[in-house]
């Protein structure tokens, strides 16, 4: 049985207040609206005022008026949805702009670091260039000193490798024994080598045939002194000439390699200009031919 109740009865029963009126439902603000829009709803402007406000805030810019007009032409429910979408898009753009600004600041900081590093590298490059210039100046000065020494040695009678060794013996004897021509050459060479560790090291490295396995330092110096004396006494070493401008010129053949290496070490220890020229002899050519035949 269907029972009918009047509105007055429902009101007295307190039930009609449970159902909001249509006006109340329409005037309720959207849950997704920005808090600033709620005041627009409460001010009594209703849906149209809310859409107008949202449209103006969302479409701020040169084309804002056109977007607002377009929203007014849309149905109310669609206009509200479009306005909310525009508002969300605006917030996304603002977030992206903030992110881009942060990235720009980071890039600027990195650029500043790169610039600082470039400045440091430029400073280091300038220092290296200055050091290079100093080194070049010292090298040039050393070359001039060696040229002066070469002229002095030539004036003292040094014209080839043999006379250079004679000059060395004379200088070492005067330096170590305070005499000239009184001490045996072998003893002078041995005493001079003991005082010149770098020369011994060079001879040991570049003339391995002068050093035998199991030798101690004293034995090496003993044999090196004997070999230097033998080089000085060998008349064939007169082919190694000495010039006041270019210094000592050593002619290297297949058989003279140890002698040339020893003389080069001696010249370097004295600070004398030295040039090595490789020369092919008939004996070297025969050796090469023999090696070719053997290898076949």
Residue 12: per-residue pLDDT:
41
Spatial separation of the C-alpha atoms in residues 231 and 224, rounded to whole Å: 11
- Contact, 224 vs 193, CB < 8 A? yes
What the block records as the tokens of 235 is 């008349």
- Decide if 112 is inside a domain: no
Average pLDDT over the chain reads: 77
Spatial separation of the C-alpha atoms in residues 83 and 71, rounded to whole Å: 8
- Decide if 1 is inside a domain: no
- Decide if 66 is inside a domain: no
- Compute how many other C-beta atoms are within 10 angstroms of the C-beta atom of residue 40: 21
Which pTM does this prediction carry?
0.53
Residue 105: per-residue pLDDT:
86
Residue 203: per-residue pLDDT:
96
What the block records as the tokens of 272 is 């004398």
Report the DSSP beta bridge partners of residue 252.
278
Is the pLDDT confidence value at 95 over 60? Answer: yes
Is the pLDDT confidence value at 51 over 60? Answer: no
Residues of the domain holding 186: 156-290
| 267-281: average pLDDT | 90
- Decide if 16 is inside a domain: no
| 60-75: average pLDDT | 69
Residue 15: per-residue pLDDT:
39
Residue 141: per-residue pLDDT:
77
Higher-pLDDT residue of 65, 222: 222
Share of the chain above pLDDT 70, in %: 73
Report the DSSP beta bridge partners of residue 249.
241, 275
Binned at pLDDT 50, 70 and 90, residue 281 comes out as low
- Decide if 74 is inside a domain: no
Residue 241: per-residue pLDDT:
95
Q: How far is CA 215 from the centre of its chain?
A: 45
| 159-175: average pLDDT | 95
Highest averaged pLDDT of the listed ranges 9-23, 62-76, 92-106: 92-106
- Decide if 116 is inside a domain: no
pLDDT tens figures, 104-150: 888 888 888 888 888 888 888 888 888 888 877 777 777 788 888 88
Residue 179: per-residue pLDDT:
92
- Decide if 266 is inside a domain: yes
Q: Among 31, 36, 65, 56, which Cα is nearest to 48's? A: 56
Residue 102: per-residue pLDDT:
86
- Contact, 189 vs 255, CB < 8 A? no
Q: H or E segment at 28?
A: none
pLDDT tens figures, 4-48: 444 444 344 443 344 344 333 333 344 344 433 444 433 434 444
- Decide if 9 is inside a domain: no
Spatial separation of the C-alpha atoms in residues 98 and 18, rounded to whole Å: 46
Residue 204: per-residue pLDDT:
95
- Contact, 207 vs 213, CB < 8 A? no
Residue 261: per-residue pLDDT:
96
- Contact, 76 vs 56, CB < 8 A? no
Is the pLDDT confidence value at 57 over 70? Answer: no
Helices 46-58 + 76-155 axis angle, to 10: 20
What the block records as the tokens of 73 is 């032409």
pLDDT tens figures, 244-261: 999 999 999 888 999 999
Higher-pLDDT residue of 82, 26: 82
**Domain total in the chain:** 1
């Amino acid at each position: 049985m269907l029972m009918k109740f009047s509105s007055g009865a429902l009101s007295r029963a307190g039930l009609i207040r449970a159902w909001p009126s249509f006006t109340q439902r329409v005037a309720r603000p959207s849950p997704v609206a920005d808090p600033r829009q709620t005041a627009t709803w409460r001010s009594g402007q209703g849906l149209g005022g809310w859409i107008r406000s949202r449209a103006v805030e969302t479409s701020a810019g040169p084309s804002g008026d056109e977007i607002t007009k377009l929203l007014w032409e849309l149905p109310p429910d669609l206009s509200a949805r479009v306005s909310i979408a525009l508002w969300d898009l605006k917030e996304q753009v603002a977030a992206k702009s903030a992110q881009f600004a942060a990235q720009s600041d980071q890039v600027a900081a990195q650029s500043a670091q790169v610039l600082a590093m470039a400045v440091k590298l430029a400073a280091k490059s300038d220092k290296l260039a200055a050091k290079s210039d100093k080194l070049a100046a010292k090298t040039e000065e050393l070359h001039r000193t060696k040229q002066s020494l070469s002229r002095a040695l030539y004036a003292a009678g040094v014209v080839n490798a043999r006379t250079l060794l004679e000059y060395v013996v004379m200088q070492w004897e005067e330096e170590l024994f305070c005499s000239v021509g009184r001490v045996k050459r072998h003893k002078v060479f041995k005493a001079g080598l003991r005082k010149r560790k770098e020369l011994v090291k060079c001879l040991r490295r570049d003339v391995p045939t002068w050093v035998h396995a199991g030798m101690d330092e004293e034995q090496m110096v003993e044999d090196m002194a004997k070999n230097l004396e033998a080089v000085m006494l060998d008349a064939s070493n007169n082919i190694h000439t000495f010039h006041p401008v270019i210094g000592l010129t050593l002619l290297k053949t297949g058989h003279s390699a140890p002698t040339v290496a020893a003389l080069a070490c001696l010249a370097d220890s004295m600070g004398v200009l030295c040039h090595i020229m490789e020369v092919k002899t008939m004996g070297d050519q025969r050796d090469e031919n023999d090696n070719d035949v053997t290898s076949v």
